[in-house]
Structure 1
Amino acid sequence: MNTKNPFTIFDWIAPNAVRNPVDADSGQRSYAQLSMVLYSSMLLIAIVPVLVVGWLGYQNYNRLFQISEQEELQWKIDGKIKSIEHMVTSLKSVVQFTARRDRYMELTENDNLEELFIRIQHQYAFFADLGVIDQSGIQQAYYGPYNLQGADYSKEKWLQEVFDKGVYISGVYTGYRKVPHFAIAVSNLDPKTRQLWVLRATIDASTLQEFIDTIKTNATDDLFLVDGNGVLQTSSGYYGKTLAKFGSPVEVGIHHKLSDRGEDTFEAIGTINNTPWSLVLLKRRYIHHDEWKNFRARFIFIIFTCILMSLIVVHTLVKMLTGLIKKTDEMQIAMLKEAEHTDKLASIGRLAAGVGHEINNPLAIISQKAGLIEDLLEMTSDFEYKDTVKNNLGGISKSVERCKAITHRLLGFARRTDVTEEPLQVNDIIGEVLQFLDNAMLYSRIKLELHLQSDLPEAVSDRLQLQQIFLNIINNAIDAIGKDGVISITTHTVAGDVRVVIQDNGPGIDKQILPHIFEPFYTTKETGKGTGLGLSICYGLIKKLGGDITVRSVVGQGTAFTITIPVHREEHGE
């Protein structure tokens, strides 16, 4: 029987890789190659989930961090927009207060507009000029650096808008002065003429720039105004001076981008109500950049620590598994050698059965001749050694009978007897066997305890072979107890089969002996009191009947044999 290149249940770990690494010289498994396969597989299993989970955690934290940054930027831009709206409202209030309903005639006569402009500019130096325009679009009064008296604005779109809405704020433009400025126009109804008129004020765009610079903080990398067409209304540190073109679409909201250097950049855009402007806030890198750097450093440290721990654990496990596989291979080799030994024992058993059959004939002749000599001794007169010869002939007869018993058991163990099936009650068979053993148990003062289930189902089996099984096991229990003991017999059904438990309170069987008790010729009895075939025969018979037999024993407490008898026998291989 070949015992080289054994494989174990551990072969499932890496079927192709583990089965193939075999040393060509020795035929044994290459444990170095096995270790490499295990290392590769387990490192892949251990590290890939760490990297995947780490990447997901990193992305999730980054997303949450970005949401937090966006919320803070939204809060900042909302506050700055409110500040700008308050400033625009203040400017608009000045113009609206000046353009009261009853002041049209006053502002268009004499130098009243000039005096009003001087008073306003004394308070608000950034006002550039003032103009009064009638309903037809003609400028009836003007004070400023240009000669715009009588200018015609009837075709300007903003004029109709101010008539419709009552107020108009323009975007920043250069105009005649080639200096960036914007206009605020307010319309009202003259109570005398019952016609609409407009007061238009021009304001230097530097006012917006100064205000933007005022509300800009160190937490903001850039802050500026743009109009709906993407034209800068104030200067930008990244996109240029006033009236330059904004490089991105003007879309309200917070946008996350990557700069040319790969830095996270946030662009927050918010609309300023009742104006043509939008406020743009740029923040390069995170507001809490140091916290983000600390998180990334801790994250990298944790990932590398997990990988290092995985390497240590994998190394330990691979070393342990390789040792277990090697030990299992050695155990398998030992089991194969033991199987070879068992096969030899079986061959010896078959040989012994043949020898026993051949010995029966000489034994019969010896028994016959011994009997003849005894008859002749009875017929002869007494002589000096007659009693001695007679006693020796008795010894010969006893030895012949013992040899016959041994050869009979050998033949019974080797013979392939057919199973005669019939419906039977296991309780009845136990009762029949106990009738033969009453005197033996009475003599040995052994108490019998029966726990027989009354409604056991009928089993289809062989009556004579079941009797032989029960007789052998109960006899062994009587021999094991000796004197003053208890034998308990229990029957019940388990999963549709009949189960018989025969238990004694004898000395028990040592755990080292227990695995061998069903082997042929294995006996723990004294020499001359057992052949070692009884339990082997019981094992073979119960297997032939489709059942099973197991044993449990505790030294000093006793032994229990459990016999399972199928209700309907199934064919089992020899």
Structure 2
Amino acid sequence: MSENRSSKRNCPIFCGLSGKDLSSQARYRCMCNSLFIVMLAITLIPLSITSGLNFFQYQQLVREDSRANARWNAESARATINAYLEKLEAAITVVIDTYSFEDLSDPKKLEQIFRQLKKEHQGLVDLSIVGVDGIQTAYVGPYRLAGKDYSDSLWFHKALARRMYVSEVFTGFRNVPHFVVAASKKDPSSDRYWVIRASIDTETLDRFLALADTEALEDIFLINDSGILQSGSRYHGDAMESFQLTRKPKQNDIVIFEEMRGNSSFYRAVSRIPNTPWLLVLDQQGAEARKIWHIFKGRLQLTLGLCFLASGGMVFWLSRFLAGKFREADETRDSILSETEHSNKLASIGRLAAGVAHEINNPLAIIAEKAGLMQDLIGLEQDFRHRAKFLDQLASLQNAVVRARTITHRLLGFARRMETSLTLVQLNAIVTEVLSFLEKDAAYRNIHILLQLQENLPVIRADHGQLQQVFLNVINNAIDAIRSDGEIHITSRRENQKTVMVAISDTGPGIAPDVLKHIFDPFFTTKGNEEKKGTGLGLSITYGIVQKMGGKIEVSSEVGVGTTFIITFPVYKEGSEEESNDRA
């Protein structure tokens, strides 16, 4: 019956079989697997959800950071180029405001000014003066451009229309990509404007753009509104080549959008350079291409892997541990059921013995009474022929009745021990009785029992049978611990006016500290590897009996030396009402 209950209760749903279809070992293995799956899911599902949320949240943060970095880098590069142009424009403005057309038309004077400007402004290629008719009247630089006619050039007309003008990149007469910064001034004599022009090569722009290079930067270049590159590009070619821009910003604004190059995405920031025809284009790595994102993913994967391994190992151990505990609980329950059935049988035997004893006592009383009557009658007939023989037979009959009564009294005594019956008992007498049961076993194992019992110990109030069980359990455990060739010392004495004690020491192997603290726990046994496996209930029952009688039991042990049990009971007060009733 207990096996069926255990099967139905412990069969896990993942096995696909009922408890009756599984052996005990297979059932607990299946339970272990089911616990492992359920607990692993409970552990890993929240971990996976949390990791996924962290993954997407951090990805969003990296994307926002990438966009912010693209904007900041674009603003920084724009500010750098704008500062260079403003500084150069300011220097040209000082020159044109300080000197007249005639002064600057002097080649020596112009060369002196050019050298001074070249020291302060890197990338300056040449400096020239263009008259009101568009003819270059003075030139300082590496090219032969003196006397060139710029009357049809776009930059010349733009310079005339504005106080200061920065041109697009073009090749011009020199066939080399460059741009000019030109300023115009009115000639007082003719009311027409002449122009001072400074030329800068595109490599200067490349150097300034290179200052904005960072780990995440992929490309940075300048274009005009027509889509012509104004500087070199890593992916789109050199200056003067074409490039198609999908989105353009408004004045002094920065637009940032996502583009694709192959299978990877990147952020593109586009900004206008103030007072120029140029657009700054900056391409920066997308979130998935950044080093910090790869580091985060690697660490997240490593953390998840370690968590999975640690959780899996812990859950595996815990599932086996719990399944083992369930198995132990089932085995303990079956043992308790078996002990209970055994106790019920003993109780039934006790009740049966009491009934049998009472039933036998009645006819025995009649037999004894009739035998006594026959003795009296024969005593009156002195000349009865067989008088001596009859008296001898009647004496034998009465002896048999006495023997039968002794047996029935013992049966009644066994039956009464099923219930607690408190009487006044003497500890030394109980110890002596118990030793009479164990002397032969101790002698067979060559174990010497040494007694040191104090005489005239005060009595205690206890159950005679249960007290026998207490000493029987402790002394029997001492014999089992020694096994052979050892000594057991039993000492009794009065500790004080209120208590008496019995100490039982053995020369066995002793008990380890981690085992000693569980010695009174129910179902805890140290006899698991012996032929007679212990139930783990002996010392637990002993502890309960001693506590119920108001006593105390303590144990001390040293490995390799032996173990000592000290049992203390309160002295019964003489002259009490209970004692008087017992003696009556």
CA distances 1:71-110 after superposition (whole Å, capped 9, x unpaired) = 9999988986686456435632541342234x3xx22x69
> Sequence identity of aligned pairs in percent?
20
> Residues 473 and 36 from structure 1, CA distance in 2 versus in 1: closer, same or farther, beyond 3 angstroms?
closer
3-state SS of paired residue (2:6): coil
1:407-418 equivalence runs, <5 A? 407=412, 410=415, 413=418
Q: Give the corresponding residue for 1:458.
A: none
Q: Give the corresponding residue for 1:504.
A: 502
1:486 correspondence with 2:486: no
Q: Are the counterparts in 1 of residues 166 and 179 from structure 2 also a CA contact under 8 Å?
A: yes
> Residues 405 and 73 from structure 1, CA distance in 2 versus in 1: closer, same or farther, beyond 3 angstroms?
same
Specify the code of the residue in structure 2 equivalent to 1:6: S
Specify the code of the residue in structure 2 equivalent to 1:407: L
CA distances 1:405-439 after superposition (whole Å, capped 9, x unpaired) = 64266368579x9xxxxxxxxxxxx9xx66x7699
Q: Give the corresponding residue for 2:350.
A: 349
3-state SS of paired residue (2:493): strand
Q: Give the corresponding residue for 1:524.
A: none
3-state SS of paired residue (2:220): strand
CA distances 1:269-295 after superposition (whole Å, capped 9, x unpaired) = 788788786754435589998998799
Q: CA RMSD in A?
A: 7.0
* Cα deviation, residue 395, structure 1: 7.5
Specify the code of the residue in structure 1 equivalent to 2:502: D
Deviates more, 1:357-366 or 1:382-391: 382-391
Relative to the length of structure 1, the TM-score reads 0.52
| 1: CA distance, partners of 2:58 / 2:183 | 51
Q: Give the corresponding residue for 1:98.
A: 95
Q: Are the counterparts in 1 of residues 105 and 129 from structure 2 also a CA contact under 8 Å?
A: no
> Residues 89 and 35 from structure 1, CA distance in 2 versus in 1: closer, same or farther, beyond 3 angstroms?
same
> Residues 23 and 148 from structure 1, CA distance in 2 versus in 1: closer, same or farther, beyond 3 angstroms?
closer
3-state SS of paired residue (1:6): helix
CA distances 1:315-374 after superposition (whole Å, capped 9, x unpaired) = 677667666655665555455444444443343334334334433423443554566678
| 2: CA distance, partners of 1:309 / 1:439 | 60
Q: Are the counterparts in 2 of residues 227 and 277 from structure 1 also a CA contact under 8 Å?
A: yes
| 2: CA distance, partners of 1:380 / 1:271 | 156
Q: Are the counterparts in 2 of residues 183 and 202 from structure 1 also a CA contact under 8 Å?
A: yes
1:67-466 equivalence runs, <5 A? 84=81, 87-88=84-85, 91-101=88-98, 103=99, 106-107=100-101, 112=105, 143=136, 145-146=150-151, 170=166, 172=168, 184=181, 201=197, 203=199, 206=202, 209=205, 211=207, 221-225=218-222, 233-234=230-231, 236-238=233-235, 246-247=245-246, 259-263=260-264, 265=266, 267=268, 279-284=280-285, 329=330, 332-366=333-367, 368=369, 393=398, 396-397=401-402, 400=405, 403-404=408-409, 406-407=411-412, 410=415, 413=418, 445-446=454-455
Q: Are the counterparts in 2 of residues 448 and 488 from structure 1 also a CA contact under 8 Å?
A: no
Q: Are the counterparts in 2 of residues 212 and 224 from structure 1 also a CA contact under 8 Å?
A: no
* Cα deviation, residue 224, structure 1: 0.9
Stretches of structure 2 that go unaligned for 5 or more consecutive residues are 137-148, 433-452, 476-488, 507-519, 528-533, 557-561, 571-584
Relative to the length of structure 2, the TM-score reads 0.52
| 2: CA distance, partners of 1:342 / 1:258 | 86
| 2: CA distance, partners of 1:229 / 1:328 | 86
| 2: CA distance, partners of 1:185 / 1:384 | 167
CA distances 1:242-300 after superposition (whole Å, capped 9, x unpaired) = 78564456698997957354436355778878878675443558999899879977976
> Residues 213 and 181 from structure 1, CA distance in 2 versus in 1: closer, same or farther, beyond 3 angstroms?
same
> Residues 399 and 231 from structure 1, CA distance in 2 versus in 1: closer, same or farther, beyond 3 angstroms?
farther
| 2: CA distance, partners of 1:273 / 1:97 | 21
1:6 correspondence with 2:6: yes
Deviates more, 1:394-403 or 1:60-69: 60-69
| 1: CA distance, partners of 2:419 / 2:492 | 34
Specify the code of the residue in structure 1 equivalent to 2:13: A
> Residues 518 and 97 from structure 1, CA distance in 2 versus in 1: closer, same or farther, beyond 3 angstroms?
closer
* Cα deviation, residue 225, structure 1: 2.9
3-state SS of paired residue (1:145): coil
> Residues 257 and 362 from structure 1, CA distance in 2 versus in 1: closer, same or farther, beyond 3 angstroms?
farther
* Cα deviation, residue 485, structure 1: 1.6
| 2: CA distance, partners of 1:257 / 1:224 | 17
CA distances 1:41-89 after superposition (whole Å, capped 9, x unpaired) = 3543565577567768877998999999999999988986686456435
> Residues 213 and 155 from structure 1, CA distance in 2 versus in 1: closer, same or farther, beyond 3 angstroms?
closer
Q: Give the corresponding residue for 1:464.
A: none
* Cα deviation, residue 506, structure 1: 4.9
How many residues of Structure 1 are paired with residues of Structure 2 in the alignment?
A: 471
Q: Are the counterparts in 1 of residues 128 and 198 from structure 2 also a CA contact under 8 Å?
A: yes
| 1: CA distance, partners of 2:319 / 2:536 | 35
| 2: CA distance, partners of 1:557 / 1:374 | 60
* Cα deviation, residue 146, structure 1: 1.0
Q: Are the counterparts in 2 of residues 222 and 237 from structure 1 also a CA contact under 8 Å?
A: yes
Match of 2:537 among 512, 515, 523: 515
Q: Give the corresponding residue for 1:17.
A: 13
* Cα deviation, residue 505, structure 1: 2.5
| 1: CA distance, partners of 2:6 / 2:411 | 40
| 1: CA distance, partners of 2:88 / 2:551 | 107
* Cα deviation, residue 20, structure 1: 7.0
> Residues 57 and 96 from structure 1, CA distance in 2 versus in 1: closer, same or farther, beyond 3 angstroms?
same
> Residues 216 and 140 from structure 1, CA distance in 2 versus in 1: closer, same or farther, beyond 3 angstroms?
same
| 1: CA distance, partners of 2:151 / 2:371 | 163
Q: Give the corresponding residue for 2:34.
A: 37
Specify the code of the residue in structure 2 equivalent to 1:92: E
Specify the code of the residue in structure 1 equivalent to 2:366: I
Q: Are the counterparts in 1 of residues 504 and 565 from structure 2 also a CA contact under 8 Å?
A: yes
Q: Are the counterparts in 2 of residues 180 and 204 from structure 1 also a CA contact under 8 Å?
A: no
Q: Are the counterparts in 1 of residues 96 and 196 from structure 2 also a CA contact under 8 Å?
A: no
